[in-house]
Structure 1
Amino acid sequence: MSAWSWDFVIFVLISVQCSLTLSDSDPIAQQKLDQVKDLPGQNFNVEFEHYAGYVTVNQESGRALFYWLTEAVEDPASKPLVLWLNGGPGCSSIAYGMAEELGPFHVQKDGKSLYLNPYSWNNVANLLFLDSPVGVGYSYSNTTSDIYNNGDKRTAADSLEFLLNWIERFPEYKGRDFYITGESYAGHYVPQLSQAIVRHNKANVESPINLKGYMVGNALIDDYSDHIGRYEYMWASGLISDQTYKKLNKVCSNESFFNPAQQCVEITDIAYQEMGNIDFYSIFTPTCTTNGITKRLMRRWHKVQQSYDPCTQQHSLVYFNSPEVQNALHVYQSNNTSRRWEICSDAVEMYWKDSPTSMLDLYHELISSGLRIWVYSGDTDGVIPVTSTHYSIDALNLTTINPWHAWYEDGQVAGRTQTYEGLTYVTVRGAGHEVPLHKPKQALTLIKSFLAGTSMAPSEQVIKSKTSASEKLQTFII
């Protein structure tokens, strides 16, 4: 390496150290440095501020989590703060939550340009996306072994430390109503972080985080319920044979998601062969492929489902690996080379250290604490389907307040819902694992209702126009 190159490396290291020092000594000044001025491929104006950067959660090992805050479109000072977490474990909240689900900036098919999501949740809240734990997305550690020692406990502790430090950088959010949301394996992250905050607040009554509640979608809640619900859904949807369904129930029902027995692995492989090449996260939509025939089918599909694109992950992979994009988002770069960005980290998932088999006890604890708790489920997801969530909620043995009924969007059934003492359950009709991707308008209605604490009630016009069950049956017989 030339002398000039070493000088440049030293300059980069000094710059990074100065930035970290500034963050520690003057967090509000760091907020200004984190402001995102312009994004590559953004050919439209936005009426909100947004910020991106790092918060160190462990000085000794150098663990730093990457965040992206997008303020509310209108009057952000009056809006709550909503944290979004994706699961995996090991998947990026930037890849999913921001870039293809509920965030304002979505990536075009060329992987170079952006478009504005009209159904972004920052229409109703200030949105905070977090890549957690270290090794996920842009989040990193200076200690390599940290990547191989992630687990539920440390993720919750680091996320709490992130919030405490982040609020110092953004003091305008101190005391602001705060909600946590997420999907999939965030079914662990979200209640665990909520528990950590509740316990922190009890020990620090003078400086609490004003947590009001949480909402999780297609969430991993209880391994046993999730297994039997998944196999039942696969069988009832016609995806697997009777024989395979029986074997799955016999061999796999009591297995851990992380360490299944070999027999369970083998019968699961047979199940996937029987299902064929489908998107198990959205069983009725086309898969992403370069095959010409499928492209023609996709064009037909887009005429009906204009907003759905099964290849969104590929677009994001190109965009967020762009050095220009990483510069704009203040991504830490070593030796002036762009950081390799992954949608999900295999290493994080492979070396995951701890994962409780059930969150049910945690739900009971948090319901007792008075938090607003909502669970939602896209009803075409095969990974953690509605049947799994039904079984998990039933296992909580809660008292029903408002029984099962349909809710509507634009005069059509958008899903079903039931209110329990301490919990609200909502399904979203026609949505897969990523509800805001498949049904963005309905997802925006969902977050509005959750933040307002109002039920997903059927519209009065629909109720008035409904005929009785006997009238419908009579018409059918005639």
Structure 2
Amino acid sequence: KDSHKRTVGTNMTSLVISRLSLTVLAVAATTALTSIFGSGGSSIAVNDKSTLRQSLEVNPIYPSTSDGTTTIKPTLYTSEALADQITSLPGLNYNHGFNQFSGYFKVSEHYNRNIFYWYVESQNDPENDPVVFWTNGGPGCSGLLGLAAEHGPYILSHDGTLTPNPYSWNKAANMLYVEQPAGVGFSFFDDTDEESFYTSGDDMAAKDNWKLIKEFVKRFPERKANDFFISSESYGGHYMPQLAKHILRHNTDNTINFRGFIVGNPYVDPYSNYVTQMTAYYGHGLIAKPLFDAWYESCAFIEQYDPKICHGLERSMYQEMGPGINPYALDYPICTKEIYDDSHKTPATTTPSSQVMALLQHSQFGLGSSHESSNTDRFLAGPPFLPSQDKYNPCAEVHTLNYLNRQDVRDALHVQVDKEWTVCTRDINYSRQDSNTPQVDLYIDLLQYAKDNANTTLNMMIFSGDDDSICSTAGTQAWIYDLGVDHLPGSLWKAWTLNDQTAGYVTKFDLGEGVKSSFTFVTVHGAGHEVPSYRPAEALELFKRYLSNEW
């Protein structure tokens, strides 16, 4: 690969990074997709809504309003889907008005890999609204975190009561929440071969997720014709382009009506993430100039990065910042464990930063474990100026942990394993080489695919909460502007608003005249790493505009 340098723009300096050196450190770079995609292309639209299996039957279940669910109109479902239907949920005491299902999809006989899903139909128009696949990052974090603590239909309280989430994403789409890879959350595998050990990585995750999607369409064939999108955050910066590549390669029989992917605060380029994390601390006034200058001189350029020196400087940075700073949402205040009644029962892996902790532990740069000690003794609260319904729930992950480990909840969800549910797991061996391989070239190839297949719709959107330092907006811009595409005339960094307030900024990129696909970058002002947790109203608006291609 030709060596070249790029400039990471910040408001205080320019940081030059060599991708060649990074590729050497990461061992392997993502290969080009030209041979995979081929040349030319055609629309992948599927218009036949009559494809139903013979096993379809009218849904006979009319949940009574006394147990918190609502009467719903009869719909055709397969017998397999009916077996997975959630007929009631502990703590649900109101009429929610939509169907939901949970259970397992076997994705491989090898190690008996089974992935758990929770599918909630749209509150709006399930027959016509798109299906959106969601998984969280890590690698190794549960997609149920997205459902229970970010953009699912319920707000979960400390006592297990479920109340409506006014900003649930199933107000606009049929949401398919997935716990992957196998071994995450309620998903499982059998590791009984003494001569080998179950390992996962980006390629296996893509294959398993594609298998799950195909099985989903078999179990819910009434959704085959709906538009289908995939979505994630954090390590989803790997998951989403890898899965998109796999779908484009293997969706030759129009198994799904694939329309694109959306990913928030993505982990794509390890070194630009690392560099802009440290500059974000300095830019927010959290560390003194002498210490930042010492780090910058020794560590800001990959050619001179020395872990022994840089780790020491990073420790000094964290000590100087103190224990009260949340690196995943720098301007959000903190509260102590004592605020939560059962805080003494909370393990370190279930702090509000556990998804990012899993990401940092797989990164080759920086002190991933250095954050752990400072985060185990605190939960994060929202800024006091936010409206009450928009405030960040400081203990959402803990409420999720407690709720999903209740036996009555597990029974209602058809859980087949006895293990403790955790937000993120260490029970899987995920390829560190994959974690440390930049994905920039893969995004470049996906953009090229969109240009070469002008009649195919592949809408790609990156969104970024600008209060996150771990996968910062500056770091995201660094790799985006290294993709080789220019912004559309008049569409560079335009403010977008919600309720007459600036919600962030949007940039649309030029893929060529007549190309149906799109590539868009949207920021969300004041949001941390998990955007829907910090700015739920803005996140829902962003999501709706993406699905309707209104950016």
| TM-score category, normalised to shorter length | 0.7 to 0.9
Deviation for aligned residue 1:344 = 0.7
Give yes or no for contact 1:57–1:158 (8 Å, CA) kept in 2: yes
1:387 equivalent among 451, 474, 480: 474
Q: Specify the SS of the correspondent of 1:213.
A: strand
1:449-468, aligned counterparts within 5 Å? Answer: 449-455=545-551
1:273 aligns with 319
Give yes or no for contact 1:186–1:216 (8 Å, CA) kept in 2: yes
Distance in structure 2 (CA, Å) of the matches to 1:195 and 1:298 = 38
1:407 aligns with 2:496: yes
1:225 aligns with 2:321: no
Q: Specify the SS of the correspondent of 1:448.
A: helix
1:16 aligns with none
Give yes or no for contact 1:283–1:432 (8 Å, CA) kept in 2: yes
1:211-222, aligned counterparts within 5 Å? Answer: 211-222=258-269
Change (3 A) 1:168 1:285: same
Distance in structure 2 (CA, Å) of the matches to 1:274 and 1:150 = 38
Deviation for aligned residue 1:266 = 3.1
Change (3 A) 1:327 1:291: closer
Deviations 1:192-231 (A, max 9, x none): 1011101112xxx324432111111111111232222222
Change (3 A) 1:195 1:274: same
2:90 aligns with 40
1:361 aligns with 441
Q: Specify the SS of the correspondent of 2:493.
A: strand
Distance in structure 2 (CA, Å) of the matches to 1:260 and 1:92 = 34
1:116 aligns with 2:212: no
Change (3 A) 1:291 1:349: farther
Task: Please report the TM-score for the alignment, with normalisation by the length of structure 2.
Answer: 0.71
2:415 equivalent among 323, 331, 339: 331
Give yes or no for contact 1:432–1:438 (8 Å, CA) kept in 2: yes
Give yes or no for contact 1:50–1:71 (8 Å, CA) kept in 2: yes
2:507 aligns with 418
Q: Single out whichever of 345-354 and 78-87 deviates more from structure 2.
A: 345-354
Give yes or no for contact 1:235–1:241 (8 Å, CA) kept in 2: yes
Deviations 1:328-378 (A, max 9, x none): 111113xxxx43100111343776463352111111221233311111111
Deviation for aligned residue 1:270 = 2.4
Task: Please report the TM-score for the alignment, with normalisation by the length of structure 1.
Answer: 0.81
1:311 aligns with 395
1:474 aligns with none
Change (3 A) 1:272 1:148: farther
Equivalent AA in structure 1 for residue 177 of structure 2: F
Give yes or no for contact 1:54–1:64 (8 Å, CA) kept in 2: yes
Give yes or no for contact 2:85–2:100 (8 Å, CA) kept in 1: yes
1:12 aligns with none
Distance in structure 1 (CA, Å) of the matches to 2:383 and 2:495 = 30
Equivalent AA in structure 1 for residue 152 of structure 2: G
1:27-66, aligned counterparts within 5 Å? Answer: 28-66=78-116
Deviations 1:13-50 (A, max 9, x none): xxxxxxxxxxxx99932111011011111111111100
Give yes or no for contact 1:134–1:147 (8 Å, CA) kept in 2: no
1:467 aligns with none
Deviations 1:226-284 (A, max 9, x none): 2222222121111223344344445555679xx99344433332222222222211112
1:107 equivalent among 137, 153, 156: 156
Deviations 1:90-109 (A, max 9, x none): 111102x1001111122112
Aligned length, in residue pairs? 419
1:235 aligns with 2:282: yes
1:320 aligns with 404
The structure whose residues are more often helix, as a share, is 1
Give yes or no for contact 2:139–2:430 (8 Å, CA) kept in 1: no
Q: Specify the SS of the correspondent of 2:204.
A: helix
Q: Single out whichever of 395-404 and 189-198 deviates more from structure 2.
A: 395-404
CA RMSD of aligned residues (A): 2.8
Change (3 A) 1:161 1:266: farther
Distance in structure 2 (CA, Å) of the matches to 1:299 and 1:54 = 35
Deviations 1:124-163 (A, max 9, x none): 1100111110121111102267985121121111111111
2:538 aligns with 442
1:175-324, aligned counterparts within 5 Å? Answer: 175-201=225-251, 205-253=252-300, 261-277=307-323, 278-291=325-338, 301=384, 305-306=388-389, 307-324=391-408
2:37 aligns with none
Change (3 A) 1:61 1:348: closer
Equivalent AA in structure 1 for residue 499 of structure 2: D
Q: Specify the SS of the correspondent of 2:334.
A: coil
Counting aligned pairs with the same residue, the percent is 37
Distance in structure 2 (CA, Å) of the matches to 1:158 and 1:40 = 31
Distance in structure 2 (CA, Å) of the matches to 1:350 and 1:275 = 32
1:164 aligns with 214
Q: Specify the SS of the correspondent of 1:219.
A: coil
Equivalent AA in structure 1 for residue 155 of structure 2: H
Distance in structure 2 (CA, Å) of the matches to 1:443 and 1:238 = 27
Change (3 A) 1:325 1:418: same
Change (3 A) 1:252 1:165: farther
Distance in structure 1 (CA, Å) of the matches to 2:479 and 2:413 = 39
What are the ranges of 5 or more consecutive residues in structure 1 without an aligned counterpart? 1-24, 456-478
1:430 aligns with 2:526: yes
Distance in structure 1 (CA, Å) of the matches to 2:383 and 2:248 = 49
Give yes or no for contact 1:65–1:139 (8 Å, CA) kept in 2: yes
Change (3 A) 1:207 1:285: same
Deviations 1:385-416 (A, max 9, x none): 11111111111131111121111111111111
Distance in structure 2 (CA, Å) of the matches to 1:116 and 1:144 = 43
1:141-160, aligned counterparts within 5 Å? Answer: 141-143=189-191, 149-160=199-210
1:344 equivalent among 424, 440, 465: 424
Distance in structure 1 (CA, Å) of the matches to 2:416 and 2:302 = 40
Distance in structure 1 (CA, Å) of the matches to 2:484 and 2:461 = 16
Change (3 A) 1:144 1:412: farther
Distance in structure 2 (CA, Å) of the matches to 1:339 and 1:91 = 15
Give yes or no for contact 1:281–1:432 (8 Å, CA) kept in 2: yes
Distance in structure 2 (CA, Å) of the matches to 1:292 and 1:74 = 37
Change (3 A) 1:444 1:60: same
